[in-house]
Amino acid sequence: MKIKIVTLFPEMFQGFLSESIIKRAIDKGNVEFEIIDFRKYSHDKHHHVDDTPYGGGAGMVLRCDILDECIEDIKTPKSHIALMSPQGVQYNQAMANRLAKEEELILVCGHYEGFDERVRGYVDEEISMGDFVLTGGEIPAMAISDSVTRLLDGAIREESYEDDSFYNGLLEYPQYTRPQVYKGVEVPFVLQNGDHAKIKTWRLKESLRKTYLRRPDLLKNRTLTKEEAKLLAEVKDELNNN
């Protein structure tokens, strides 16, 4: 996969691309990044990319002609173009799974007071991180790049993300490591006895418990298997009896 990020602040990505899973994925050839400073597409000597809004108002608006020239220059027939925008569809794991199947992503980062409305005609979708506003689109672009890269074949072991929160529509089960007992709290016995069938059932039940308590909305549209329905009923009984 190739990920192209269009930004006014390319230096923000230096640390992001040189650490942890992202760097290893780049080194292994799982993903290639290209950071594009769209200021270079400006034609005036001061490299302006924004202007005052028609009708008045505070702040500056990114110009559509400069962004259009940039996108036209870097896109290919394989490109899927996403605009980082608080007005976009809220990002989730299902979107990460979908984007990970693309051959090339172009992530367009905004800044200042936003984009000229015509920019929306140059992209395939708009993506939001949630109901809040950031200074620019660079952090959302990093979040999307990270969530997509870790799903690529060979980036990490498949079992490392299959049990992640949201990957299967549920929150992840509790995890423990040494010491076995700390400040009077012991690791659940089921995780110590080596019975993998029981461990699997316990993890599913605890995943359902966490989801029911913290994100019940995730269960509303979920079609439960017979095992999940049985375990969730047990969870509810336990909570009602406590």
Residue 148: per-residue pLDDT:
98
Show the tokens assigned to 86.
Answer: 């608080």
Average pLDDT over residues 226-230: 97
Angle at 130 between CA 128 and CA 132, to 5 degrees: 105
Looking at the structure, tell me whether residues 88 and 149 fall in a common domain: yes
Residue 114: per-residue pLDDT:
87
Residue 157 has pLDDT above 80, yes or no: no
Residue 158's pLDDT band, with cuts at 50, 70 and 90, is low
Looking at the structure, tell me whether residues 152 and 193 fall in a common domain: no
Total number of residues shown for the chain: 242
Say whether 63 is catalytic. Answer: no
Angle at 99 between CA 73 and CA 26, to 5 degrees: 75
Question: What secondary structure, in 3-state letters, does 49-60 show?
Answer: CEECCCCCCCCC
Residue 161 has pLDDT above 70, yes or no: no
Say whether 77 is catalytic. Answer: no
**Within-domain flag for 165:** no
Looking at the structure, tell me whether residues 7 and 65 fall in a common domain: yes
Strand partners, 35: 5
Q: What is Dmax (Cα atoms) for the chain? A: 72
Residue 216: per-residue pLDDT:
96
**Within-domain flag for 176:** no
Give the DSSP per-residue string, 191-205.
GTS--HHHHHHHHHH
Residue 59 has pLDDT above 90, yes or no: no
Q: Are 138 and 9 contacting, i.e. CB atoms less than 8 angstroms apart?
A: yes
Residue type for 228, please?
E
**CATH, residue 51:** 3.40.1280.10
Looking at the structure, tell me whether residues 192 and 105 fall in a common domain: no
Residue 168's pLDDT band, with cuts at 50, 70 and 90, is confident
Show the tokens assigned to 117.
Answer: 């409305």
Active-site position among 69, 126, 146, 164: 164
Number of domains in the chain: 2
Say whether 131 is catalytic. Answer: no
Looking at the structure, tell me whether residues 129 and 96 fall in a common domain: yes
**Within-domain flag for 50:** yes
Looking at the structure, tell me whether residues 232 and 134 fall in a common domain: no
Active-site position among 86, 116, 138, 209: 86
What gap in Å lies between CA 160 and CA 1, rounded to an integer? Answer: 20
**Within-domain flag for 139:** yes
**Within-domain flag for 198:** yes
Domain end position, chosen among 95, 124, 158: 158
Q: Could you tell me the pTM of the whole model?
A: 0.88
**Within-domain flag for 164:** no
Looking at the structure, tell me whether residues 132 and 32 fall in a common domain: yes
Residue 58: per-residue pLDDT:
84
Residue 165: per-residue pLDDT:
58
Sign of the alpha-carbon dihedral angle for 55, 60, 66, 71: negative
Looking at the structure, tell me whether residues 79 and 139 fall in a common domain: yes
Range of the domain at 195: 181-240
**Within-domain flag for 61:** yes
Residue type for 221, please?
N
Residue 166: per-residue pLDDT:
67
Looking at the structure, tell me whether residues 185 and 96 fall in a common domain: no
Active-site position among 37, 68, 69, 113: 113
Looking at the structure, tell me whether residues 196 and 103 fall in a common domain: no
Say whether 86 is catalytic. Answer: yes
Residue 242: per-residue pLDDT:
84
Q: Are 7 and 37 contacting, i.e. CB atoms less than 8 angstroms apart?
A: yes
Residue with tokens 């090339």: 104
**Within-domain flag for 175:** no
Looking at the structure, tell me whether residues 186 and 144 fall in a common domain: no
Angle at 139 between CA 123 and CA 19, to 5 degrees: 115
Mean pLDDT of the chain: 94
Residue 113: per-residue pLDDT:
74
Looking at the structure, tell me whether residues 55 and 134 fall in a common domain: yes
Active-site position among 50, 104, 150, 209: 150
Burial (CB count within 10 angstroms: exposed 0-12, middle 13-18, buried 19+), residue 38: buried
Residue 219 has pLDDT above 70, yes or no: yes
Residue 160's pLDDT band, with cuts at 50, 70 and 90, is low
Of the listed ranges 136-145, 153-162, 224-233, the one predicted with least confidence: 153-162
